[in-house]
């Protein structure tokens, strides 16, 4: 396949398979897994990963953020269930039906508005979101009974078919005692709504609350499935909290050295003159920058891997390039630089970069821009590349 090896990301399907299998075993082999493939599979390439999950790993349930993502996953050949976890404008409800997409319902008025645009004779499949403490989306009754009553009203709408009910755990990735108690309370609130519905002979086919972290650290007995997100891609929900298995990062970010030059004491590097050479040094310019999604916040403190050794970024990261100190590393133009991933005995993770940027690994991988080709690997062989 043809792609420019200026800056690119390699995506390992083998790592995806490892993480999926290990997670499924950890939560219990009989627990169904819904794979979260939103945000282009957290920046990893949904059109390659979603079909692989379905065809090779027999995944039948997927979750996305919006209708554009749902459409792309469906067009990639996926035939299984696709749940939109976020908002869809009611006027495109007909397309939800046409593509056989499940929509999250956040309140009765939203469900009613969707019904205005659902074609006559059709029903839209939905999962009802319950706000148990995330305070983001979902039914927000004063108690379980009031929430259950609203669920029943939504269920009574002629063009709505309720297939599920769910909530999202806000601190499932924390081992703080207060957060553990809060998570338990969230689960209990959802289970109370389920019980209130059953008391009125209303049974919801699928009730779920487990996210990646919830499935590992909390009781999942009441959840009909686990929504596997960040761990699928080999990142930690909480970098400081161990998992019962070692996830394999699926993404490696690479770029090329564009030029190597010797600079002398007193010379400045990059915008703002934030770095001044204290003596002679070898400086490499690398063909990647913040427009590629490599954070500008790493200016003057991030490190790269070249020829299996670490090199420190000097000066500010530019839009398309950055500079690093390669003194003594015998680097030349054209050499491959690893910005996320392993080279020899050294490894730089998305979580390491995130810590330097005061953020989380999720944001780092999701932020890699579309102009960076994703090169899909299986058993070490390149299968495809986005360009």
Residue 294 Cα distances to 235, 255, 273, 321, angstroms: 17, 11, 20, 10
- % of residues, the chain, pLDDT over 70: 100
Of the residues 200, 265, 271, 312, only one is catalytic, namely 271
Task: Dig out the tokens for 309 from the structure.
Answer: 């050794």
* pLDDT, mean of residues 255-267: 98
CATH of region 31-233: 3.20.20.10
Question: Per the structure block, which two tokens stand in for 28?
Answer: 């219990």
Compute the mean pLDDT over every residue in the chain, rounded to the nearest whole number: 97
What is the model's pLDDT at position 1? 64
pLDDT of residue 242: 95
How far is residue 343's CA from residue 307's CA, in Å, rounded to a whole number?
7
Coil, strand, or helix at residue 195?
helix
For the stretch 163-188, pLDDT in tens is 999 999 999 999 999 999 999 999 99
Is 38 a known active-site residue?
yes
Query: Where exactly are the structural domains of the chain?
Result: 31-233, 251-385
Dist CA 338 CA 356 (whole Å):
17
Q: 56-62: long-range contacts at Cβ-Cβ below 8 A with a sequence spacing of 24 or more?
A: 56/13, 56/17, 57/17, 57/20, 57/21, 59/20, 59/33, 59/35, 60/32, 61/32, 61/33, 61/34, 61/35, 61/225, 62/34, 62/35, 62/36, 62/37
Instruction: Name the CATH topology of 251-385.
Output: Lyase, Ornithine Decarboxylase; Chain A, domain 1 (2.40.37)
3-state helix, strand, coil in the chain (%, to 5): 30, 25, 40
306-362 pLDDT, tens per residue?
Answer: 999 999 999 999 999 999 999 999 999 999 999 999 999 999 999 999 999 999 999
Residues 6+ positions from 260 with CB-CB distance below 8 Å: 282, 283, 284, 285, 326, 331, 332, 333
**What does pTM read for this prediction?**
0.96
102, pLDDT greater than 90: yes
In this predicted structure, the answer to whether residue 65 has a pLDDT above a threshold of 70 is yes
Among residues 24, 38, 159, 189, the one annotated as catalytic is: 38
Q: Is 182 a catalytic site residue?
A: no
**Sign, Cα dihedral of 154, 150, 131, 89:** positive
């Amino acid at each position: 396949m043809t792609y420019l090896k200026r800056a690119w990301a390699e995506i390992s399907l083998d790592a995806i398979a490892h993480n999926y299998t290990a997670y499924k075993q950890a939560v219990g082999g009989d627990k169904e897994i819904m794979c979260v493939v939103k945000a282009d599979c957290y920046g990893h390439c949904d059109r390659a990963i979603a079909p692989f999950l379905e065809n090779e790993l027999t995944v039948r349930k997927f979750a996305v953020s919006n209708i554009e993502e749902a459409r792309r996953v469906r067009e990639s050949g996926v035939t299984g269930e696709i749940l939109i976890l976020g908002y869809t404008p009611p006027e495109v409800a007909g397309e939800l039906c046409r593509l056989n997409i499940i929509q999250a319902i956040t309140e009765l008025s939203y469900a009613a508005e969707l019904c205005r645009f659902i074609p006559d004779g059709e029903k839209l499949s939905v999962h009802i979101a319950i706000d148990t403490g995330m305070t983001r989306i979902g039914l927000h009754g004063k108690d379980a009974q009031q929430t259950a009553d609203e669920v029943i009203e939504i269920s009574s709408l002629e063009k709505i078919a309720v297939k599920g009910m769910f909530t999202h755990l806000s601190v499932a990735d924390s081992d703080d005692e207060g957060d553990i108690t809060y998570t338990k309370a969230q689960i209990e609130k959802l289970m109370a709504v389920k019980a209130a519905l059953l008391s009125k002979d209303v049974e919801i086919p699928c009730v779920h609350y487990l996210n990646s972290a919830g499935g590992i650290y909390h009781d999942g007995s009441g959840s009909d499935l686990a929504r596997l997100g960040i761990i699928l891609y080999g990142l930690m929900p909480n970098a400081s909290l161990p998992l019962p298995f070692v996830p394999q990062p699926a993404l490696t970010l690479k770029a090329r050295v564009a030029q190597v030059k010797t600079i002398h004491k007193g010379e400045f590097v990059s915008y703002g003159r934030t770095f001044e050479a204290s003596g002679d040094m070898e400086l490499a310019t690398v063909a990647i920058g913040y427009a590629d999604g490599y954070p500008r916040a790493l200016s003057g403190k991030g490190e790269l891997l070249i020829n299996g050794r670490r090199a420190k970024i000097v000066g500010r990261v530019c839009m398309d390039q950055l500079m690093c100190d390669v003194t003594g590393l015998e680097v030349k133009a054209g050499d491959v630089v690893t910005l996320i991933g392993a080279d020899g005995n050294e490894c730089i993770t998305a979580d390491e970069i995130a810590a330097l940027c005061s953020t989380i690994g999720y944001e780092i991988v999701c932020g890699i821009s579309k102009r960076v080709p994703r090169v899909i690997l299986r058993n070490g062989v390149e299968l495809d590349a986005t360009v």
